[in-house]
């Protein structure tokens, strides 16, 4: 089924499939192609409306009776590290960071496979081969960077594919060594992106989706300054317990209304 606005881009809906975050639920996504000379502006605009990028596609959950997946971002100005996060920063003080163009390497893929086999062996990306991995990293029509993290022996221990938006950094996908649990590398990568955004004068770090009731996604609520996109606006997450993964047939607006409410960038801008 296809739904479109009077002007490009065209929006589509995926067929329902089992939800990877909440058992017994079915997920459905609203998506559009990301291409052409306006790709950057479209990525900026839709990211501010809860969409995420995967290669040359922008998508947002649009489930029939569930609205648990909430786009999350950190407000850099209001973020304050917790005591635990300060310890994580100290433990990783000897890690080096380098930013590169979005180009896949064997070292990245090896680390990616180690990470998946340890943390997400039954996930949707578990069967991804080296060519699919390269496509994930390299097929980007927007301003993207690969942020690599190495230890004192220059061994790659963490990687994040990051989009540079007009108002922040979007952590598209990150992976890291599962052999260093004490270092809390997943948390460290987010903390370092907050530092990068602050240095660049960018107000937000986009983390993807926070899903109440999902152990996989619950860690995002550990960061102060977290904002979630709900009801068409960004709101500060003060108490995670205020949000429930309960389902209801009126949880989501009809697709036609969702599409009609999407604000698109002026395609003439920048010409």
pLDDT, tens digit (0-9, with 9 covering 90-100), for 158-191: 999 999 999 999 999 999 999 999 999 999 999 9
Quote the CA–CA distance of 212 and 179 in Å, as a whole number: 27
Judge whether residue 24 has pLDDT over 70. yes
> The whole model's pTM is what?
0.90
- Number of helices (H) and strands (E) in the chain: give both, helices first: 6, 15
Residue-wise pLDDT tens digits, 108-150 = 999 999 999 887 656 667 688 999 999 999 999 999 999 999 9
146 half-sphere exposure, CB direction, 13 A CA radius? 21
Place of tokens 């909430």: 70
Residue 250's pLDDT is what? 63
What pLDDT does 5 receive? 40
Look up residue 104 and give its two tokens.
């896949």
Four-residue CA torsion sign, 145, 115, 51, 210: negative
Report whether the peptide linkage leading into residue 9 is cis, meaning its omega lies within 30 degrees of zero: yes
């Amino acid at each position: 089924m296809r739904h479109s606005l009077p002007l490009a881009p065209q929006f589509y809906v995926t067929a329902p499939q089992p939800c990877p975050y909440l058992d017994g639920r079915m997920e459905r996504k609203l998506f559009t192609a990301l291409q052409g000379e306006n790709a950057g502006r479209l990525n900026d605009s839709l990211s501010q409306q809860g969409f995420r990028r995967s290669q040359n596609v922008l998508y947002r959950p649009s489930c029939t009776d569930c609205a648990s997946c909430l786009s999350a971002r950190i407000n850099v100005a209001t973020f304050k590290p917790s005591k635990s996060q300060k310890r994580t920063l100290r433990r990783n003080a000897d890690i080096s960071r380098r930013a590169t163009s979005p180009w896949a390497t064997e070292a990245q893929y090896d680390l990616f496979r180690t990470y998946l086999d340890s943390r997400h062996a039954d996930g949707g990306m578990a069967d991804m081969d080296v060519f699919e991995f390269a496509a994930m990293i390299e097929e980007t029509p927007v301003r993207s960077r690969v942020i690599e993290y190495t230890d004192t022996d220059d061994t790659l221990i963490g990687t994040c594919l990051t989009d540079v938006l007009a108002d922040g950094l979007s952590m598209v996908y990150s992976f890291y060594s599962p052999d260093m649990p004490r270092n809390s590398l997943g948390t460290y990568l987010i903390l370092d992106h907050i530092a990068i955004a602050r240095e660049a004068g960018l107000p937000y770090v986009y983390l993807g989706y926070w899903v109440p009731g999902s152990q996989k996604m619950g860690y995002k609520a550990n960061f102060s300054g977290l904002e979630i996109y709900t009801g068409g606006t960004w709101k500060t997450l003060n108490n995670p317990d205020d949000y429930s993964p309960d389902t209801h047939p009126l949880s989501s607006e009809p697709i036609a209304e969702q599409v009609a409410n999407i604000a698109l960038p002026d395609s003439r801008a920048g010409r």
